[in-house]
Every structure is written in structure tokens, then in C-alpha cells.
Structure 1
Amino acid sequence: MNRKPTLAVVGATGAVGAVMLQLLSQHADVWGEIRLLASPRSAGRKLAVRGEETEVLALDEDLLEGVDVVLLLAPEDVAARWAPIAAAEGAVVVDTSAAFRADPDVPLVVPEINPHAVRVRPRGIVASPGCSTLALIVAVGALHAEFGVAELVVTAQQAASVAGQAGVTALREQLSLVAGTELGHRPGDVRRAVGDDTGPFPGPVALNVLPWSGTPTEDGWSSEELRIREETRKILDLPGLPVAATCVRVPVVTAHSVSVHARFERPVTVGRAHEILATSPGVVLYDDPAAGGFPTPADVVGTDPTWVGRVRRSMDDERALEFFVCADNLRKGAALNALQIAEAVRPEIGTG
């Protein structure tokens, strides 16, 4: 007799956790018990999942006993500590942080692209890519299967929620400061109005864009930019793929946008690219710019797919395409991809 596996959601009270609980209530009810776990300061709260109020418990090793799948929606340091503990208890761990993405013994999975990778997990852990990678990889992977990607140059325009609730709060506070003013006409006037309290951002994000995300690495690249490079290579199993990324913080609450230049091994046409994207799982093609038809964060937020538009063949290279993608960074960029991975491993979990 089949049994429904037990699921634990670690980080249930965070922004990604809130989206995860929505998704668990919207997807097919394939789980048995769902345990909601978080830090001690969040314990005792009641959250709705599958139409029922469920108490949040403080994360503890005893609460991981008997759990089949653990969704880790926690910061990197928390994931690094607790993922091996949960795996040692026999659970399959799906981690959304960067803690294990580069580990050769941990598969990095996007179910639309490499679902097979989830089956080989020596450490009992499966990693989910970062939100900027997830915004572009479903569309890129679909085109790669047809044309063979040879090079990527991308600009990731990241929403404030990539920095969590602190990022959203900082953006909203800054927008309230500049609303109804004439700011933005003189050098430094926005910066002076906002002051030094820019939250998790290196400068004001209201009425502005910030070409920096992450921490410094070698030769001027940021950690976020190198993650896009390495994650894309690992997912596509192309360790030598040239990838150049620029990350920009923009005054959007939720939903990332990415401008993509993709060069392929074979000649491409817009017509064939449209056919591929229109029939690819997890992708919505929305490409009629003459009629105002193209994806924007304001239209994509709260939806599951990757939206693709502005598809053009490069004017100087018959093997290159330019296109624009948008995706909700809290849904496909985090919670949804993790849940899809969990649903992919669920059928192999014990029966009886």
C-alpha cells in the first residue's frame, strides 16, 4: 500500500516559505504530514497550509526523524549546518541556498532541463539554482537542446526581494521619500534624500539602478555574477561554456528580468526559436512588441513560468539570438523549483 511521504519545510516563515505554503496548497496533495520548522524566534506561529492552521516548530534534530523530504529555504550558513544532519536522518534534502551548488557530489537541478540529475545524489542533497539563473535557464535550456549553446552574455535585472524582506522594505521606504518630489534632476539629489540608510543595497535603489549584487571576487566580478556562470555550466553540463553576467539591482519589488545574448553552434531563426519556446514546459512566449506584447516584471509577478519576448536574431551573426526573459524570483526562482524537485523524488520514496 502506498504511503504519502512526510515533508518538512525549514524556513517556513520567510518570504520564500510563504510562497512555498501557497504552492503546497495549490499543487496536488501528495504529501502526508507537513512539518513547518523555523528559528526559535518564529516558533509558535500558526501558518495555513492545505487549508489547515499548522504550528511552526523550532528547528531541532528530533523533528527531522521520520521525515522523507526536507525543503531547506534557509540562509547559506543554516543550510550548511542542517542539510547533512537531515540527510543523515535518511531524508532527501532540497536546498535553495548556495551552500552546496558547487559541490560535485550534489546535483544542481532544474526539472525542465535536467530531471535525470536528481537520481544521483551521493550526499542525499539536491541543490536548486539561484534566482537569476532560474530566470534564464529554462528558456536557454530549451534553445540549447535544438541549437547547442556556445556562449552567453546576460544582464540580470534583480528585484529588491532578492535581498529578502529587508530589500523590499528598503525599496518601499525609499519610494515613499521620493514620491511627489522633483528628485532625479540633479546629481546626487536622490542619494542625499535617501541618506546613508540604504538597507541591504550599496546605494539608493529608488529612481535608480545599481550595477552591483553580491560580494567582490577577482578582477571586478561579483559573487552573484560568477554564480550565474558556474550554475549555468553545471545545469547544462557544459563546464567550458563562456558565460559573462552583469547583475543590476532595479526598483522592482518582485520578478527578475534578464537580457540575453545567446550564441549557438548552428544557425538560428526567430521562427524556429518561437516554435521551441512556445512548446517548452515552463515557458510562455509573449512576443508581439508592435502591439506592446513583451514580458515585464509588473505582469509576470505571481506567476510560475518563465516569460520570453523580444526574440531577435543578431544583426551580425546568424548563429546568435537576443531575447528578454522575466520570472518571479520567489516562485520559479526559489520555492517552485524546489517543490518541483521534491515532487520528482517523491515517487521513489518508500511504499508499504
Structure 2
Amino acid sequence: MDPQFLLPERPLTVAILGSSGAVGKELLALLEERSFPIDKLTLLASHRSAGEIQNFCGTELKVEETTQESFKNVDLILASAGSSISRKWKDAILSSGALMIDNSSAFRMENDVPLIVPEVNPDDLSKHKGLIANPNCTTILLALVLAPLTRRIPIKRIVVSTYQSASGAGAMAMEELKKLSQEVLDGLTPKSKVLPYSLAYNLFLHNSPLQSNNYCEEEMKMVNETRKILGDPSLSLTATCVRVPVFRAHSEAVNIEFTQPFPIKEAYEILESAPGVEILEDFENNRFPMPLDVTGRDPISVGRIRQDISNPNALELWLCGDQIRKGAALNAVQIAELLLPKNHE
């Protein structure tokens, strides 16, 4: 990769924008866990979280309120504070000369902003102009499975249903699920304040805004982002997204129709060697991936790969992945790692 697209060749000055949220805290943990080359780390958030103390490599860091001055002399901004905040600070970040890796949906579909899953389309990083988008969590998990399979036989159509945990709505939604679940057990009527409906012993169709085609925003993110990541704007994909009473990690039921029959044995061989993917299944005991299997872990787990009995060209499978980790924070850190000069020697 051309050096102009890489991060500086030295320990970096890094800032996490949105450091007090669930993904922000996971970013902090991953930077330490993966020994990312940092000289100075700044934690940024709104005035409400300013002053909070977080730990990094044995040192206590105080969260600072984000201002125009926050981005000066910073090499890398890992942004995970939501679309409106990313839009608000984008110009200040880019004018400071920092590289911005953004976890929100604000810029994902802009033509000059690469949308990256490192295991799938790393070459697209060479198109960045200081801003790189991290895909939606469900899209990342799906792309890890689709990409290696479609390299073998082209995909004709995908039908996916997602089962999305409270973590997808942030730390407050996770806390609310815990609180309201106890209220149900205590015989009370749960009243949700974070989500539109209670998730306690309940589920509901994803609460993102409905679009004119009667698909919700979350579903259309999966459609449009998957097309962009796989480089196939005409890819046929339909999605139904559901919120479920799980604290952390998303699941997906995926039906993939190919242009010709796909031998199951080959599908296993491909996915077993695919980066970021593991096979987890025990047909004898009817045991397949569950959210608890992937919580706090990097790989996504795939299982129950089978022939679609209604279509000889289609396979069905089930997957689970940690939304906060690979579905958000880990993917962002992996993008940054791809831009380290040492990885291009």
C-alpha cells in the first residue's frame, strides 16, 4: 500500500471518541490486549461523561469533554459516539490531519469512504481520504461468511433473519434488560425507557425507523452495506431484523442461493479455513452456536450448515458473533492495524 495511506511509523497519539459507551470501553480494552503502538491515549466523550476514570495499561485516564482542540496532534481517532456526533466533529478531525475510523452509519454509503471488513476487502483501504467507515454489526458478521463462499461460486440471492441482542442498542439497553427482567420475575409490569418496548422475556422487530419500502433502517443497512463490501451493487438480499432478550452477541439465520449447487463438504472446507470464522456444531446432540459461545471472543461461530430442501442451489446456516467485539470495536482496531507501516514491510 502507498505510504501516504498508512499511519505514521512511530508510537501513535490515539483518541477514542465516545469512550464511555459499550463499544468505546471495548476499544480501550482491545488496544491494550493487542498491544497497539500508542504513545499517548486520549478518551473523549460528552460533558456528561467528562471526569470519568478509565484504566489503560495500568494507568488511570480521565475522560475529557470533546472540543475543537481535542483533535490537534492526534494521529488516529476511533469514533464510536453515534452518527450525529461523528458528523459534528468530522471536519475538525480531518482538518487536524488525523485518520478517522468511524463506527457509526454516518458515512458508510458515501462513495469516497471505504467500508471495510479487514478479512474481506482490505484492498479498499487504499481509497481512503482520511476517513474509513466501520460497517454495521450484523453486516460484518454476515460478510465474513458470504465473502469466502462467493469466491467459490457466485451468490444469486441471500435471505437473512437476525436476532439482535440488547448490546446493539448500547450499554444502557443492556442495563435496562437486566433491570426489567428482574421486574418481571418480581411480578411487576416492566416499562422500558431506553428501547420502545421491554425486551424482558419479549422480542420485537428492530426499532430503527421504517423506510418507504416498509423495511426498517437496520435491514436496509444490511442490504446496502453488504453490496458495497462485496463489490456487487446488484446483489439480491433481503433481511428481517429482530431485537431479542439476549445481553450480548447477535445471531443470524442465513439462506444463500448460489448460481449452481454448492457441495456442503466444500462449504465446510472453505469456512473452516476462513479468517475470523470457526465451525461449532454437534449434530448428534443438536448443539449449535449460541450467543454465550461467542461473548467476549473474536471469531464468529457458524454451524448447522445444510442443504436447503426447497432449492438445490441454496445452503442454509446459522451464525453467532459478539456485536461489541467483532461487530464493532475489534473490526475498527483491525482496520487500524492494517494501516500500521510494520504490516507492509
Same fold (TM over 0.5): yes
Partners of 2:46 and 2:180 lie apart in 1 by: 29
Q: Which amino acid aligns with 2:154?
A: G
Q: Cα offset for 1:209? A: 1.7
Q: Report Cα offsets for 1:168-190 as digits up to 9, x if no partner.
A: 12211221122266xxxxxxxxx
Indicate conservation of the 8 Å contact 2:294/2:322, yes or no: yes
Partners of 1:2 and 1:141 lie apart in 2 by: 31
Q: Cα offset for 1:50? A: 2.2
Q: Cα offset for 1:59? A: 1.2
The normalised TM-score by structure 2 is: 0.93
Map of 1:144 onto structure 2? 150
Q: Which runs of 5+ in 2 are unaligned?
A: 1-7
Q: Cα offset for 1:61? A: 2.2
Aligned counterpart in structure 2 of residue 212 of structure 1, from 198, 206, 230: 206
Map of 1:176 onto structure 2? 182
Describe the shift of the 1:40–1:139 C-alpha distance in structure 2 as closer, same or farther (beyond 3 A): same
Q: Report Cα offsets for 1:255-281 as digits up to 9, x if no partner.
A: 000000011123211111111111111
Indicate conservation of the 8 Å contact 1:8/1:67, yes or no: yes
Aligned counterpart in structure 2 of residue 194 of structure 1, from 189, 193, 196: 189
Structure 1 range deviating more: 294-303 or 230-239:
294-303
Q: How does 1:51-130 map to 2 (within 5 A)?
A: 51-122=58-129, 124-130=130-136
Q: How does 1:143-292 map to 2 (within 5 A)?
A: 143-179=149-185, 193-194=188-189, 197-292=191-286
The normalised TM-score by structure 1 is: 0.91
Aligned counterpart in structure 1 of residue 330 of structure 2, from 336, 339, 342: 336
Q: Cα offset for 1:211? A: 1.9
Partners of 1:301 and 1:338 lie apart in 2 by: 18
Map of 1:36 onto structure 2? 43
Q: Which runs of 5+ in 1 are unaligned?
A: 182-192
Structure 1 range deviating more: 58-67 or 1-10:
1-10
- Count matched residues: 336
Structure 1 range deviating more: 4-13 or 248-257:
4-13
Indicate conservation of the 8 Å contact 2:44/2:66, yes or no: yes
Q: Cα offset for 1:92? A: 1.0
Indicate conservation of the 8 Å contact 1:171/1:205, yes or no: yes
Structure 1 range deviating more: 284-293 or 151-160:
284-293
Map of 1:309 onto structure 2? 303
Indicate conservation of the 8 Å contact 1:255/1:326, yes or no: yes
Partners of 2:245 and 2:9 lie apart in 1 by: 48
Q: Cα offset for 1:212? A: 2.8
Q: Report Cα offsets for 1:17-46 as digits up to 9, x if no partner.
A: 111111111103422211111112222222
Map of 2:3 onto structure 1? none
Map of 1:45 onto structure 2? 52
Partners of 2:272 and 2:278 lie apart in 1 by: 6
Indicate conservation of the 8 Å contact 1:160/1:252, yes or no: yes
Q: Which amino acid aligns with 1:319?
A: N
Structure 1 range deviating more: 164-173 or 98-107:
164-173
Q: Which amino acid aligns with 1:280?
A: A
Q: Cα offset for 1:100? A: 0.2
Indicate conservation of the 8 Å contact 2:9/2:340, yes or no: no
Q: Which amino acid aligns with 1:328?
A: D
Describe the shift of the 1:168–1:219 C-alpha distance in structure 2 as closer, same or farther (beyond 3 A): same
Partners of 1:12 and 1:33 lie apart in 2 by: 15
Describe the shift of the 1:281–1:200 C-alpha distance in structure 2 as closer, same or farther (beyond 3 A): same
Q: Cα offset for 1:2? A: 4.4
Q: Report Cα offsets for 1:46-85 as digits up to 9, x if no partner.
A: 2111222122222122221111111001111000111222
Q: Report Cα offsets for 1:260-309 as digits up to 9, x if no partner.
A: 00111232111111111111110011122223431101221111111100
Indicate conservation of the 8 Å contact 1:162/1:329, yes or no: yes
Indicate conservation of the 8 Å contact 1:139/1:306, yes or no: no
SS in 2 for 1:126: strand
Indicate conservation of the 8 Å contact 1:7/1:69, yes or no: yes
Q: Cα offset for 1:348? A: 8.3
Partners of 2:269 and 2:311 lie apart in 1 by: 20
Describe the shift of the 1:207–1:48 C-alpha distance in structure 2 as closer, same or farther (beyond 3 A): same
